[in-house]
Structure 1
Amino acid sequence: MLASSSNAATPQPFYRQTYVQVLVAILLGAVLGHFWPTWGEALKPLGDAFIKLVKMVIAPVIFLTVVTGIAGMPHLNAVGRVVLKAMVYFLVFSTLALVVGLVVANVVQPGAGLNIDPTTLSTKEIATYASKAHDISLTGFLLDIIPDTVVGAFTSGNILQVLLFAVLFGISLTLAGERARPVVAFFEAMTEPVFKLVHLLMKAAPIGAFGAIAFTIGRYGIGSLSNLLMLVATFYGTSLLFVLVVLGAVSRLTGFSILKLIRYLKAELLLVLGTSSSEAALPSLMQKMEQAGCDKSVVGLVVPTGYSFNLDGTNIYMTLAALFIAQATNTHLSLGEQIALLLVAMVSSKGAAGVTGAGFVTLAATLSVVPSLPVAGMALILGVDRFMSECRSLTNFIGNAVACVVVARWEGALDRQALDDALDHRAAGRDARPLTVNQGNTP
């Protein structure tokens, strides 16, 4: 696992810690976007550039982590066992997130009383999302996991393509035995500079967060929230409820505190908040989870897969937004239709994984399959979707961190002492410390 080096024991000044810099950048960006919206919009390239920088290293991080992790496994059947346990976890909690969104929407009814006539809504702005939704199918998604070429897996930007090739290559190295040891040693040596590169890129996180949040506030403005404040507040409240109650209970049963985990990942969470992209913090999450005692192979298999199959925040958003549209347009949905909506959302949420603007595209795909719901109703929430995307990303991120620890515990691949040390208050500045690679499996 990854452990801090001995020469980094002295805590850094608070102003040099990543989470402090990102927090200040978010506040400054919000102020700039609010008072000088034109300048704020012009800073969009800063956020886009940072996200592209991070995406540049996602493929090698996943490949090296998975390959070296599998090559170090004593038995190959452990790979299938980890994947199976992860998929069972993802299915259960993704479905639970959909149910929570459905229940809260029925209880709170955030769209009641708006009395919108769907025929008066313009569908011009949502046409792009609707067209993407028609291209989504579960079969197409599964086939897209297989890359056209090995090089294509690393250039397509599809996390699952890299993961598939890494798993197969890792298994091949294990089957090759001693003859493959030089290759494994090379990849193990490559791990250190790649994670050093990640640490180097994270120094630009405050700049990326500043540009992204300035653009969001400058383009959409805080005032755009007023008309749909009930929906936004309900979604944020529901996501908070899911994290603290549902994921909190799972965390407690696993033997750790969800609040301590959130504190441990505060720098990454602020980065996700600022950039509105959980992918921006993917390499750091994998690094932090390994540092927290999760076996390298579990981290490599669970976290990237979870980014496509364990989208708790997106699932809450889908059922909540769908029922909001139904309530706002006075479209009555029976219990049977709501259950059908939930079942459709279970499939469409997997089919839209990896699609840009996945939350909104997935919603379009779900509404298009339920005839009684007007797709035009999506125009109601288009203006505030950007403000809800931050919450979706944060919830997805926390859900995948919890899933990694839980699956590692199930697999017996969790170093409890390392987890306790990482979540302890003394670990507050670890994200800024140099890291070294400790080879070998966690007992």
Structure 2
Amino acid sequence: MKEKTVLEGTIEKVLFPNKGIMNIDNKIIHVRDTLVGQQLRVELSRRKRKGMWEGKVLEVLNPEYFKSADCKYYGQCGGCNLQQLPYEQQLTHKYTQVKMLLEDLGEYEDLGIVSSPSEFEYRNKMEFSFGNEYKDGPITLGMHKKRRMYDIITMDGCKIVNEDFSKILRFILSSLECLPFYDKKTHTGYLRYLLIRKSEYSGDLLVNLVTSSQVEYDFTNLSEQLTKLDIAGKVIGFLHTLSDTLSDAVKPESIKIVYGQDYLEEKLLGLTFNISSFSFFQTNTKGAEVLYTTALGLLENLNDKVVFDLYSGTGTIAQIVATQARKVYGIEIVEEAVNKARENATLNKINNCTFLVGDVLELVEYLEENPDIIVLDPPREGIHPKAIQKIINFRANEILYISCKPTSLARDLVIFKENGYKIEKICCVDMFPQTNHIETICLLSNNI
């Protein structure tokens, strides 16, 4: 075999998140963004190590095996890679990937996978970028092109959000196309991002326009027109955020309320949450109810228990747990999220929650009570190696680990097992239909 060789074969399995495996004459070929059962013509692009290659898809030889994608941007946008699979097959695909990652962890009760209540229009938040699709092209507003750092395609009609998102996107783009977008290469320009949040409970929308400080512009008239748009929901707040960071990320330096208010009200399992533009909140509201109900259902008894909710965000899990537990402590590194958690606890008349601002790695040492149960819902990279040992040292009777990245979960579970914890139950919950992402819940018990 050599580079540029063209071969035909079938994808036998797909490693998380999207690495297809093809075996031809005992030579392993990795082909990204492929599905089990696809028959492909591929071109060898790079030799990785002895007997292993990377390949590039030239042609799908059995397209009739899969359904047509529902979104016209499929293949251009890198977001929804599983649209060609019927939803039941998507669930099987994700469940199989998690099973492969956890297969060396011994026996546990396998609770399978729980589907999302909605396959489409489930997201309550989107972050769109300003840019252009090609060099010197007209301004665009949408998502990054697949595997492109700078190219942006206008996403008018994204299938995983409500139509209101597309109407607002179209309006903002047509109204501001006279202004320069922020060029990530030269760090010049003005328009950076458009953030839209929608309440599943009320249908209300919060719109946040993020710009640099390189131009001065009055958005008062724009906000007035925005509130008159023909949409199903109601725009109750329009914000203008300044961000001059050089990184391709929203780091707010100032936030101005141009119109209305700076938060939405959302309902989750009987509780009320006020959510700001930058608050962490699960992007699939109905799916979050399924996730938390499933997770807390693994715990036999919360009554009179002390619970630590580490990586607590805006305190959604903590407050749901607090309706049954004696005392809950939440730790979160983002101060704005902790402030919202405290506000929401007051709103829900919950007085047995204490929320602390800081790094889990540092703050766990200062908690005076010993927990009966620890809830972990860390970011995608999982738990810091030093923090995980401090968590283990509490010797909580049960640990409930909710993970949004199964590779991180698999790594962390090995450490818990080595330190006397037993994996009792594992359940997958699909919060992100059409995409590679999956939530995995694991219940561990102290075996010492």
TM class by shorter chain equals under 0.3
Highest CA radius of gyration, 1 or 2? 2
Q: Which has the higher contact order (CA 8 A, sep 6+)?
A: 1
TM-score of the aligned structures, taking structure 1 as reference length: 0.23
Higher strand share: 2
